[in-house]
Structure formats: structure tokens, C-alpha cells
């Protein structure tokens, strides 16, 4: 049995044909259409078409608030053209097969809980750093979706109560790769639209460039404050970091050091005494976690 698996991001659509043993074949990626849903659906169909005779259906991880039972999106996340739309039904009709949609962060959490870095955890979380910030929460050994399927949507968490009216005071604009690159361009005095990606940034950081290291320190502080908040709210054992830049050892090293520094800076405070600390680990499936989790969700829905 094989399934066509899509991982839809704000920048690119990654795809694979996968079997029930999680083996990935015919992998690749294409840019995510930014204009219309019709263009988006057609891009998916063109990727599906060469494999339609060898797969039984489609599993897809997407940004936004996803009703996994109906395939309806009430919010499209980074892809606003998918807001308030029966995306699963539309894709099933276009491709002529059954379709299972799962939120990208929840898909990653499911993959890591089933067979990755969060195996055996009772309370844990996934923190996906990409165009925005995706997330997934594990409580009592189960994936938490929430009544409205919005649990784990870290991008919308406010980071500054005093600045509520500023839409940039959220985790999407403070803890994403997008934010990291914006800060780096500003630090280097580059135009806001200067070509830049995570690979170039970490080439500079790994080479010891002071500007890149300064920006990385600031970025990791923003992320670890939110990991601290997750620890306080949920008493998580582990937080698994995913997304493309999670493959960078320097990122994980800096996150752990800065996280420890949060506690050390208030070491004498009686209010901090007894607060738990979590382990910060990389996602075992790295940037493939979304695809693996989407397939797990598909198997649970149609082959449990």
C-alpha cells in the first residue's frame, strides 16, 4: 500500500510517495503558489498525476486550523487563500481519491511521538521553525488537537502584552526563520528584500561572523523564552525542534545554552525554585516529520 504525501509550507511543497513502513520514494519539492487556491490545487494535482495508479490516496500536512474529520480549514495560516474552505473535499474531487488533511505542527508531533524523539513521553511538544512557527502538544501521551483544532498554534501567541495592537508582537514574527533572516538583513544593513535563506545565514554563523552570532543569540533568546513558557504551562519533558534550520547543530547548541541561562539569570529568585526544565532535542525526522506524521494520521483514519 502506498500513499501520496504532501507537506505544504509557506515557501515550498515537499512531496513523497510513501508506504506503510514509512519508506519514502519519488521525493521532491516545488514552490508553493502564493496567488490563488485554484493554482495551489492544480500544483498538487500535477504532482499527484504521475503516481495516481500506484497510490490509494493522499495524506497532506498543511498550515492552519484543520478539522481532520472533514478536511475543512477555518484558517489557512501562511496561505490565506485556504481560509474558510473545504480543502480536503476540493482536493479529493480534483484527484478522485480519498484525502486526509492534518495540521503541519500536529503531524510532526504525531511522527515524533510514534517513532521519533518524543517516544515514551507523557507531556511534550514540537516546535517547528519555518516561515511561521508550527507546533504540536502531547498531553498524557496523546496528541492535543483542541475543540476548535487550534491547540499548538504557537504563531498566534502574543509576546508583548503592552504592545497588543502591534500585529508583529507574536511568535510568528519573533521565533520564525522569517524573523531570523529579517533581523540578519537589518544587522548587516542589507535591503529588506535582499536574497537570504537559512543556509546562507548559518554559513556565516558557523564561520564565526559576529553579526550572525549576535542575531542568532537574540533569536534563540526569543525562542527559549517561549519554550520556558511551554514548560511552565504544560510541564513538558521534552521540546523537539523541527523545521529546516533544526538540522544545524549550532542552533541546538545555542538554544540549550540560552535556555540554561534563563534559569541561571534568576538563580536566586525564590519564585523560580522548583520550576521544571525540559530537554531541548532535535526532531528525529527533522524536516521530514510533517510527511511522516501526515501518513500516520492517514493510516489511523483509514487503516486503524
152-198: pLDDT as tens digits: 999 889 988 888 888 888 999 999 999 999 999 999 999 999 999 99
Q: Architecture of 119-283 per CATH? A: 2-Layer Sandwich (3.30)
The 10 Å Cβ neighbour count of residue 170 is 19
Q: Is the pLDDT of residue 267 over 80?
A: no
Instruction: Show the DSSP H helices in the chain as ranges.
Output: 37-48, 87-95, 104-115, 177-188, 198-206, 210-234, 249-264, 289-303
pTM beyond 0.85: yes
Q: Regarding the domain with residue range 2-107+288-303, which homologous superfamily does it belong to in the CATH classification?
A: ATPase, nucleotide binding domain (3.30.420.40)
Does this chain's domain 2-107+288-303 share its CATH topology with 119-283? yes
Contact criterion met (CB below 8 Å) for 158 and 168 = no
Residue 168: per-residue pLDDT:
87
Domain ranges, ordered by start, for the chain: 2-107+288-303, 119-283
Q: Is the pLDDT of residue 223 over 90?
A: yes
Amino acid at each position: 500500500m502506498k500513499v501520496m504525501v504532501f507537506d505544504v509550507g509557506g515557501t515550498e511543497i515537499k512531496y513523497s510517495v510513501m508506504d506503510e513502513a514509512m519508506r519514502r520514494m519519488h521525493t521532491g519539492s516545488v514552490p508553493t503558489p502564493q496567488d490563488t487556491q485554484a493554482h495551489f490545487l492544480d500544483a498538487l494535482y500535477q504532482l499527484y498525476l504521475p503516481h495516481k495508479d500506484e497510490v490509494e490516496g493522499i495524506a497532506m500536512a498543511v498550515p492552519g486550523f484543520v478539522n481532520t474529520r472533514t478536511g475543512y480549514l477555518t484558517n489557512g495560516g501562511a496561505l490565506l487563500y485556504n481560509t474558510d474552505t473545504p480543502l480536503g473535499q476540493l482536493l479529493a474531487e480534483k484527484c478522485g481519491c480519498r484525502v486526509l488533511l492534518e495540521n503541519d505542527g500536529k503531524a510532526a508531533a504525531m511522527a515524533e511521538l510514534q517513532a521519533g524523539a518524543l517516544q515514551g513521553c507523557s507531556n511534550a511538544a514540537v516546535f517547528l521553525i519555518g516561515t511561521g512557527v508550527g507546533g504540536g502538544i502531547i498531553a498524557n501521551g496523546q496528541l492535543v488537537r483542541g475543540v476548535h483544532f487550534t491547540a499548538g498554534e504557537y504563531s498566534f501567541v502574543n509576546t508583548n502584552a503592552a504592545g497588543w495592537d502591534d500585529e508583529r508582537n507574536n511568535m510568528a514574527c519573533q521565533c520564525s526563520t522569517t524573523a531570523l533572516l529579517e533581523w540578519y538583513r537589518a544587522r548587516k544593513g542589507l535591503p529588506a528584500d535582499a536574497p537570504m535563506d537559512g543556509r546562507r545565514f548559518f554559513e556565516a554563523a558557523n564561520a564565526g561572523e559576529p553579526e550572525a552570532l549576535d542575531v542568532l543569540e537574540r533569536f534563540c533568546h526569543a525562542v527559549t523564552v517561549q519554550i520556558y513558557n511551554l514548560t511552565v504551562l504544560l510541564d513538558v519533558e521534552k521540546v523537539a525542534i523541527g523545521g529546516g534550520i533544526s538540522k544545524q547543530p549550532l542552533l541546538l547548541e545555542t538554544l540549550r545554552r540560552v535556555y540554561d541561562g534563563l534559569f541561571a539569570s534568576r538563580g536566586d529568585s525564590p519564585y523560580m525554585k522548583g520550576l521544571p526544565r525540559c530537554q531541548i532535542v532535535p526532531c528525529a525526522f527533522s524536516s521530514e516529520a510533517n510527511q511522516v506524521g501526515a501518513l500516520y494520521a492517514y493510516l489511523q483514519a483509514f487503516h486503524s
